[in-house]
Amino acid sequence: MRSYYAHLEQAKPATQNAIASKPVYRSSAIFPVIQAEGISSRLLFMGYWILKRNIKEIACVLTLRSTEGAILFRSTLSISEPKTYRIELEEQLQLAGFSSTQDFKGSLEIEFFSSQNLFFPYPAVVVNYYGPQFSSAVHTAQRIYNDFDDLRANTQTAVPESGFNIYASENQEPFFTLINGATACENTPITMEFYNCDQEILTHTLELGSLAPYQTIFCFPARLCDLKAFLKGQVGTAKISFKVNWAFPRLVAGNWNHRFQALTTTHTYYDCEKATSKTDYWFSPKSGWHPASLMIPVCIDKVHFTNVYFYPIYSPTRFSVSIEIYDETGQLLGVKTPAKEVVSPSSKLIQICLKELCEELDIPFKENLAARLIANEIHPHPLPSRIKIGLDMGSAQKQLPCNVCVNLQPFNPAYEGKTSTFKWLPFLADQPHPTVWIMNSSPQREYQQPAKLTLTFFREQDAETLVWHLDLPANGFLTLELSKHLDLKAFFGSQIGWLTVQSTNPYTTTYYFTESLSGIVGGDHGF
């Protein structure tokens, strides 16, 4: 794990007379992929380097591997347009000589190479698992390190991975995947700790033996221990301790629904309970600012719910969480101060049901609202630099909700001088009920800064674009539902699209979702 301060340092421009950072000429990701009855996999990205870095051409290498790590097929393509790109697993399998109906589990690595600095070794790529009953997406998780400098920078400390929700019942079970890196890994047990609604802990260790280079493990813990009885029909969480060589240890995790042959995915996050150095805590904000905040989408009409989860993973401390509810115009509808108090270390998975909160605040149920989550210090305890939450949006049919992994944004003086931001995200236009959310909020207590937005839409079939200009009030948001924008629907042509969001202030955030007819919701935050 690298400290949050080190992460921010990487994003800062070099100062005069400072030693320049080592340039990045390779950016990569490696994903677990699945083909089964009702389940397909694909990688999605756009040529954002052309827009963001003015790089004219990127070389892309795709490598399909079996679960044992054997190379099955490799292909290349050139990225020279800022359009939508889609890599279907089914097509890669056919090129490798497999049947389009054959069940498959393995990995698909995507590498981007450039003669110009790419700056970040992890690319903005999404893996989309989808089928007739569902669509679920998650961004880059694991990747193979570029060199020893990359390895050392990201392995300052080794911590378990956590921060995701699990369910176990007759019809669904949790799973996670891990992919080893470029060298074999000897003696690799996986130790799993599970946490239930009564703050009980169940531990199980799985002995893997040796992992081959690039070997992929799909783990279904409910088949190893009695998670169904342990979780008592409620949501739980887990911590996973493991070892891989030469691979960033961020895992794809989620829950598999066998009734609908569907799954929802997210990625894991650092367990920071034993992280107690100075850099594991954030400095106090100046007057007029909250220590940290985040605006999230809320959908709480008659058929939807939205929940927020705080996990037992934070650096030792105590802090409180307040919640403000807004409508799309930025009007404050209600406040709960505090809504919860978080204590760490702990074995408690904290759930905040925003539907119940709005009912308590006499806010009418409405399809689209926004919640600003605010973390406040409880003196004398400092605020952790990493406050990761889970955002669940789901259907009242009680099928699988999404479980978006996202962090509260701490007060950062460096943001005050920024006059713009550039965001981008996919628009899953070939999936049921695709929506995009764009939000404008910051940790400032009396935030009043509107945002002028330029939205540029990109499609797969060519480099044509569609451009919209919009205004977004402070603490306001907008939602784009494809069914309500016939011009946008015609532009995408029932294929995946992407959009960029150029904003006149640095506090713009984005999310995207889909919802199947079965009630399964998938989603993630944008880049």
CATH architecture label of 161-172+179-270: Sandwich (2.60)
| Cα–Cα distance measured from residue 448 to residue 433, given in angstroms and rounded to the nearest whole number | 32
Following DSSP, what letter does each residue of 247-283 receive, concatenated? B----EEEEEETTTTEEEEEE-EE--TT--SGGGEEP
Within a 10 A sphere around the Cβ of 56, how many other Cβ atoms? 12
Cβ neighbours of residue 36 under 8 Å, at least 6 residues apart? 103, 104, 261
β-sheet bridge partners, residue 325: 334, 371
Specify whether domain 4-11+20-153 bears CATH 2.60.290.11: yes
Task: Tell me how far the alpha carbon of residue 311 is from its chain's centroid.
Answer: 15
Give, in words, the CATH class of 418-525.
mainly beta
Question: Reduced to 3 DSSP states, what percent helix, strand and coil does the chain have, rounded to the nearest 5?
Answer: 10, 45, 45
| Cα–Cα distance measured from residue 420 to residue 116, given in angstroms and rounded to the nearest whole number | 24
| Cα–Cα distance measured from residue 269 to residue 252, given in angstroms and rounded to the nearest whole number | 10
| Cα–Cα distance measured from residue 171 to residue 370, given in angstroms and rounded to the nearest whole number | 32
Quick one: pLDDT at residue 16? 57
**Could you tell me the mean pLDDT of each successive run of 10 residues in the chain, 527 residues long?**
58 61 97 98 98 96 99 98 98 95 97 98 98 97 96 87 97 97 95 98 97 98 98 98 96 96 97 96 93 97 95 98 98 98 98 97 93 97 97 86 97 87 98 98 96 98 97 98 95 97 97 95 98
Helices H / strands E in the chain, number of each:
8, 37
Q: Taking the domains of the chain in order of start, what are their residue ranges?
A: 4-11+20-153, 161-172+179-270, 278-410, 418-525
Quick one: pLDDT at residue 399? 75
- Residue 228 DSSP class: H
Q: How would you classify the pairing of strands 497-503 and 451-458?
A: antiparallel
Cβ neighbours of residue 6 under 8 Å, at least 6 residues apart? 153, 156, 279
Phi then psi for residue 94, to 5 deg, are -65, -40
Quick one: pLDDT at residue 493? 95
Q: Which of 461, 467, 454, 447 is nearest to 494 (CA)?
A: 461
pTM of the predicted structure, to 2 decimals: 0.95
Quick one: pLDDT at residue 155? 82
Q: Is the peptide bond prior to 345 cis by the omega test (within 30 degrees of 0)?
A: yes
Q: Which of 135, 496, 520, 475 is nearest to 323 (CA)?
A: 475
| Cα–Cα distance measured from residue 439 to residue 422, given in angstroms and rounded to the nearest whole number | 13
Side by side, which strands form the sheet with 508-515? 477-481, 435-440, 508-515, 521-525
Phi-psi region of 224 (alpha: psi -120 to 50; beta: other; left: phi over 0): alpha
β-sheet bridge partners, residue 34: 105
Q: Which of 423, 440, 520, 461 is nearest to 52 (CA)?
A: 423
Quick one: pLDDT at residue 21? 87
CATH number of 278-410: 2.60.290.11
Establish whether domains 161-172+179-270 and 278-410 are of one fold: yes
| Cα–Cα distance measured from residue 196 to residue 194, given in angstroms and rounded to the nearest whole number | 7
Question: Which residue is it, tokens 């892309």?
Answer: 60
Phi then psi for residue 228, to 5 deg, are -60, -50
